[in-house]
Amino acid sequence: MKYKRILLKLSGESLMGDKSFGIDNNRLSEYADQIKAAYEQGVEIAIVIGGGNIFRGVQAEEGGMDRTHGDYMGMLATMINAMALQAALESKGVQSRLQSAIEMKEIAEPYVRRRAVRHLEKGRVVVFGAGTGNPYFTTDSAASLRAIEINAEVILKGTRVDGIYTEDPEKNPNATKYDVISFDDVYRKGLKVMDMTAFTLCKENNLPIIVFDMDTPGNLNKVLSGEHVGTIVRN
């Protein structure tokens, strides 16, 4: 395997599958199968998952709610997804631990960096829930921060699209895909990869990002094997 320790970032929306809301159990199972295949290869895997399939902080603002209040609701949504993913992994025989940035001692360990690293060293998948634990920070920022803290070699951003394109390929079928692109070029071209806080954290800490299609079974293992799947963003 090309990578020994990775952070996998999954969006909450991806868990919806063909549904318009909530969690599609078939999609959840497919993701767990891909993670299990990587786990069995000895890769140390940490995961951050969003909550957009249940609630997003920006929805709160649109409805006239305080943004801080809405962001905390979004963090709780990520915990629902994180618990679902942990259950799916353990049903397939994958040892895992769930850590939360907000204390929820009945359902998850508190986030402790040294403990998280020890779990990874012992061969457990670690799922990080509740974002950074702070409002105004996205789960992309949480993924970048946790990846740097645990010394991950790369962030793998699993999406519905098979990489980064010149334009949104769902809107313009003539958009062309980048195989490799620099952080500076992403800035210059105004391409959407992660929010700016998350993206800057990766650039400043020389942490590459690979954007790939997680919905195609087997793609995660291909990325980990060094096959050219998706788009690599690096300095």
CATH of the domain at 36: 3.40.1160.10
Task: Give the mean pLDDT of the chain.
Answer: 95
Token pair 């992660």 in the structure block, residue:
194
How far apart, in whole angstroms, are the C-alpha atoms of residue 212 and residue 229?
Answer: 6
pLDDT, position 62: 77
Residues of the domain holding 25: 5-234
Average pLDDT over residues 223-232: 95
Length of the chain: 235
Average pLDDT over residues 117-137: 97
Nearest of 194, 151, 225, 53 to residue 233 by alpha carbon: 194
pLDDT interval class at 1 (50, 70, 90): confident
Span of 49-58, 82-91, 93-102, 122-131 with lowest mean pLDDT: 49-58
pLDDT, position 46: 98
pLDDT, position 58: 72
Judged against a pLDDT cut of 80, whether residue 61 lies above it is answered with no
Confidence (pTM): 0.96
User: CA distances (Å), 159 to each of 13, 156, 183, in order?
Assistant: 9, 9, 19
Total tally of structural domains belonging to the chain: 1
pLDDT digits (tens, 9 = 90+) for 154-198: 999 999 889 999 988 888 889 999 999 999 999 999 998 999 999
